[in-house]
A and B are shown apart, each in its own frame.
Chain A
Amino acid sequence: KNEVEQSPQNLTAQEGEFITINCSYSVGISALHWLQQHPGGGIVSLFMLSSGKKKHGRLIATINIQEKHSSLHITASHPRDSAVYICAVRRPNDMRFGAGTRLTVKP
């Protein structure tokens, strides 16, 4: 079993829909990251969370430390949100990544 599990693996939505991506982890962490990767591109850090909830524009990330679970929400989705979203957990010496969720938002 992977240390970081994401669901769903693939997600197709219509423009304007509310989107949720989930992440569960099984190890102790110092922080959890939500990352965005566009095709052929580098990785952009969206959020770093150690507790509670963060909001940036149309993106909201939450984490429940007791349940070892985090969610990334996108409100009013747009085709430019199409990308791979990766959950990653921060450990003392490195970061462990989930397999990613490939999101496609259709106009």
Chain B
Amino acid sequence: DTEVTQTPKHLVMGMTNKKSLKCEQHMGHRAMYWYKQKAKKPPELMFVYSYEKLSINESVPSRFSPECPNSSLLNLHLHALQPEDSALYLCASSQGGAYGYTFGSGTRLTVV
């Protein structure tokens, strides 16, 4: 298995809802990442997990809460989001060091 699987592919949620995005990889990669990408912009780093521990939080608002239950799974819990949080959320994994990334196909989130 050489893929990063993200679910759901599309999500529409209200500003009072609580939802979660899921990311899964079975390549034994030790690092996992959440990126946010607005239209026609490059991805922006949100969080980095290394060996299941949060190693980087790029000053992301607390309405985004990451979780890494095990080495294969990365979640992003969403609560009280704003319409401006609507974006493509990309997950990636890597073996670390100079190794490449494998990206998921993303979750397109719309906050209404």
Contact = CB atoms under 8 A, between A and B. Distances in A.
B90 A42 contact: yes
A95 interface: yes
Contacts of B11: none
Interface string B32-60: 01000000111101001010000110000
Contacts of A99: 41-42
Contacts of A50: 98
A48 B100 contact: yes
A97 B42 contact: yes
Interface string A29-65: 0110101000011111100101000000000000000
Contact of A31 (B88, B98, B105): B98
Contacts of B99: 48
B97 interface: yes
Q: Kindly state the interface size class of chain A when it binds its partner.
A: 20 to 34
Q: Which residue of A35, A45, A86, A93 has the most chain B CB atoms within 10 A of its CB atom?
A: A93
A41 B104 CA distance: 9
Interface in A64-107: 86, 90, 92-95, 97-100, 102
21 contacts: A30-B97, A40-B88, A42-B6, A42-B106, A43-B43, A43-B90, A43-B92, A43-B103, A44-B103, A45-B100, A45-B101, A45-B103, A86-B42, A94-B45, A94-B48, A95-B45, A97-B42, A99-B41, A99-B42, A100-B40, A102-B40
